[in-house]
Structure 1
């Protein structure tokens, strides 16, 4: 018999499956329904024991997923920052193949920075250059 509390079991389940549960949660928010058999239902069932009469097990499951996702995001950012500091100093930590695969997986989940619309930037720079050229030509014309 397990000595772990039902809340701890649910929390560990959320941490172990945070990527899939986050996807389920986002789908739930967009579609307002959860597909049958998705992992989020399993987490909600684990939360049923800990939710009181006033609490909804799905809301408690949502809270656990959000918390696990925030913790993972913090961990990934800290890991990325630490590795960047090592690399900046020319150091290379020794990691096993499994650790490298886990890091690749975590770093791959980092959100990408917003894309830059190069054409729009070039257009704005072109317009700025044209304005500067016109201003310089006007200034030269006034001096003559």
Structure 2
């Protein structure tokens, strides 16, 4: 019984701590964008079934977020400029593809259910210049 009471108090304290922390605003890069779901496929297909599903779905149009990224960071831009900008806006770097180390990624995860989640994927060439850039917003603010 005491253990249950202690666990309830710990859970309540953690909940209060999570709710009392200030909510960070969405980064400028995703401000005002609506959720478009998963629009790109930066990683190679992991199976023949996934490859067939992509082929049947056909090419997907670029998301508004991807177009915004490409306007701000045209192909040929040094990848470090993109990475620095994303870090300054609160994005965290991630490894998006388990089956392709050449794809780099970053994500912004909102702290509340209504806050946006955004993902950015890119590749650089041997000179560290962007050769691929994509992204999507999965929830909107």
| TM-score, with length taken from structure 2 | 0.23
The structure with the largest strand share of the pair is 2
- TM-score, normalised to structure 1, is 0.23
Q: Which has the larger radius of gyration?
A: 1
